[in-house]
Amino acid sequence: MVYILEIVWLVLAILSLLAGLFTWYSEGLGESLMLFIITIISIFMYFYRRKLRKSQKRF
């Protein structure tokens, strides 16, 4: 289950990055800023969940 959450965060990061780049190209940076913030949060959560899973695996 924990591994699935990692994949969900990674997919969310990729999709929001692509949506942000598309919105930036079509409407400008101001409209796509929230999507880039979601990308950063998703990447952070992916690495946090991954670190948490690996630390629990050792015990």
For residue 35, count other CB atoms closer than 10 A to its CB. 18
For residue 39, count other CB atoms closer than 10 A to its CB. 21
Phi, psi of 6 (to 5 degrees): -60, -45
Cα 33 to Cα 49: distance, rounded to the nearest angstrom: 24
Q: What is the pLDDT of residue 57?
A: 77
57: its two tokens: 């695996």
Supply the range of the domain harboring residue 12.
Answer: 2-57
Using CA atoms, how far residue 40 sits from 9, 22, 55, 59, in Å, is: 11, 17, 23, 30
In the chain (59 residues long), the average pLDDT of successive 10-residue segments reads: 90 98 96 97 96 83
Domain count, the chain: 1
